[in-house]
Chain A
Amino acid sequence: MALVTDAGTEPVRYLKFKTRWHWAETLFWLATLLPFFLFPDYLQLASQIAITALFALSLDLILGYAGIVSLGHAAFFGTAAYAAGIFSKMVWGEPFTGLIVGTAAAALLGYASSFIIARFRHLALIMITLGMGLLLQQAANSAGWLTGGSDGLQGIEIWPLLGHFEFDLWGYTAYAYSLIALFIVFLGVRRLINSPFGLALRGIRENAVRMPAIGAPSRKHIRSIYTLSAAIAGLAGALLAQTTQTVALDALGFQRSADVLIMVVLGGAGRLYGGLIGTIVYMIAHDQFSGIAPQYWYFWIGLLLIAVVMFLPNGILGGLQAATAWLQNRWSKR
């Protein structure tokens, strides 16, 4: 029998160890502060990256953990962006309440659609989510009186954060605001992933057929996580509306759904940091490449995507983890 200590039996300690906070995580989050000191000219970009990383995190929750493929996740991002934008125009510009309104709108839509999502898998799921995205974008286009249609939603005015920090041109406030939101949500998601519910999600991803045979209500689990994922995507959308003070139709667009899927796959799905790293790589590369030859940008991203999927099936982060494991193995053999 395994050795028992105060920290529990060996299996308990093993699971605790597996979910421990790694020093590399501290390093990662400290590095997110670097733009304030090293690249103050790029804070607007950094803010966009933090928001998109939050969006990627929301997709990873359903794709990487529950195995639900979505090509229409921008539906929630865009819905919340419009909700937060319209709220600031019609009610007031206080940012926190705006975030709550946007997030709630996306969560509601997510909850409603989760009843359909939970019944399907694979190709059917891709088509349903794709269809939902297209449908909403067209609806937003038609409701020009409310959304501004193809001109975008203009005239959003956001009050200073906590009545003090203005959303300046350089993006200090925007980046700090987005980064704090990302960090808080990340900590919550991390807890969830390491909980019994997180284990159940991985069970659905690994084998959806077996789940009912061990007494698991998979559909209920899927409805919960899909709603939560929609809410987080919505939070990201609301942040974008507030920090850029405009909402365009592409907030709901297919391109945005596809881009975020690419980012998660690039970084490594189901790895918590995969979506974040994928977003950073994708958006910095986009910024750099489009400076050189904007028309060829998708050529390079296409090439990168094919290479990663072929040679690093678990994404950039999965490749890094495999490389460190290999190095450690070599080191210990010497």
Chain B
Amino acid sequence: MIASALKTSGLSKSFGSLSVARDIALDLPVGGRYALIGPNGAGKTTLINLMTGMLRPDAGQIVLGGDDITALEPQDRVRKGLARTFQINTLFPGLNALEAVTLAVAERRGVSNQFWRNIAEYRESIDEAYEILAKLRLGDDCYQPTRELPYGRQRLLEIALALATKPKVLLLDEPAAGVPHEESGEIFEVVAGLSDELTLLFIEHDMHVVFRFASHIIVLVGGAIYTEGTPAEIAADPGVREVYLGKRHHG
């Protein structure tokens, strides 16, 4: 039995009469590579928002590595090891990549309230930030303001910022969204190269990518889990073809 990294049970959320999450029960094992798929409006991003605390669930429970985190603030969940990236770039446009990732590292190391010593004196934080950037092939671009970086680099910086929090579970909301097909491979190579101990859940529309990188697939429809299983099981499921693959000719 592999230990559970992130578990939800009975997670529900409605906006008025619109139910965006219905009784969602998930269990991601440590080191799992999970893909979350479903048609537009299925509630995939909502589910990430619920798990990371950006939305409050109406009911249900979220457990991270054995700790109930349902009531925690988003930043406290991050500190416990639950990080995310955003589908639409949510970066620091005026900071360069080095400053942005150093900031995230400094927050994790608990030195961000230090107001007297120069940032350059926190060498370990800076070097750690640079190491993350270099690993994501952003080392050469890290002195350029974020807003001037090519879009594909900005998508990588999304991941770099999340990695700087040293997550145990990482939720990637369409990491290659908006990136041309040729470049999206590079982003998923980076994702695939992440530590085996890191538990991953990613939203992705490209079925080639999903079948290539996921060890397990969750299909979300209308705010509820329709089915889940290995890529082979999902590919063979006629119902999934109908609700998802059949309607939208992805891949």
Contact = CB atoms under 8 A, between A and B. Distances in A.
A15 interface: yes
B247 interface: no
Contact of A196 (B53, B100, B106, B139): B106
A203 interface: yes
A19 B111 CA distance: 18
Given A15-B98, A200-B106, A212-B74, A206 B93 contact: yes
Contact of B75 (A1, A8, A19, A215): A215
Interface residues of A, number: 39
A16 B118 contact: yes
A244 interface: no
B134 A14 contact: no
A198 B99 CA distance: 11
Contacts of A209: 90
B74 A213 contact: yes
Contacts of A306: none
A286 interface: no
Interface in B6-57: 52-54
Contacts of B129: 11
A162 interface: no
A89 interface: no
B164 A214 contact: yes
Interface string B103-137: 11011100111111111101101110110001000
Interface residue tally of chain B, by bracket?
A: 35 or more
Given A206-B93, A216-B75, A194 B119 contact: yes
Given A12-B126, A199-B99, A216-B107, A191 B165 contact: no
A206 B91 CA distance: 8
A198 B78 contact: no
A162 to B, nearest CB: 27
A200 B102 CA distance: 10
A217 B119 contact: no
B226 interface: no
Contacts of B91: 207, 210
A15 B102 CA distance: 10
Contacts of A195: 114-119
A15 B126 contact: yes
Given A203-B92, A210-B161, A196 B98 contact: no
B94 interface: yes
B102 to A, nearest CB: 7
Interface string B146-177: 00000000000000011011000000000000
B129 to A, nearest CB: 7
Interface string B55-78: 000000000000000000111001
B83 interface: yes
Contacts of A19: 118-120
B79 interface: yes
A318 to B, nearest CB: 12
A198 B106 CA distance: 11
A11 B106 contact: no
B130 A203 contact: no
A136 B30 CA distance: 56
A270 to B, nearest CB: 9
A11 B142 contact: yes
B93 A197 contact: no
B95 A217 contact: no
Interface string A1-29: 11000001111111110010000000000
A214 B108 CA distance: 8
Contacts of A192: 115-116
B127 A9 contact: yes
B115 A11 contact: no
A191 B115 contact: yes
Nearest to A193: B115
Contacts of B95: 199, 202-203, 206
The winner among A11, A195, A199, A221 for most chain B CB atoms within 10 A is A11
A199 B106 contact: yes
A224 interface: yes
A181 to B, nearest CB: 19
Given A206-B93, A212-B73, A200 B127 contact: no
A213 B90 contact: yes
Given A14-B143, A214-B164, A215-B165, A9 B115 contact: no
Given A15-B120, A213-B78, A2 B103 contact: no
A51 to B, nearest CB: 24
B116 A214 contact: no
7 contacts: A191-B118, A192-B116, A195-B114, A199-B99, A203-B103, A213-B90, A214-B161
Given A197-B115, A212-B78, 18 more contacts: A8-B126, A9-B130, A15-B99, A15-B120, A19-B120, A198-B119, A202-B95, A203-B103, A206-B94, A207-B90, A209-B90, A212-B74, A212-B75, A213-B54, A214-B161, A214-B162, A215-B108, A215-B165
Interface of B: 52-54, 73-75, 78-79, 83-84, 86, 90-95, 98-100, 102-104, 106-108, 111-120, 122-123, 125-127, 129-130, 134, 139, 142-143, 161-162, 164-165
Interface of A: 1-2, 8-16, 19, 191-192, 194-200, 202-203, 205-207, 209-218, 220-221, 224
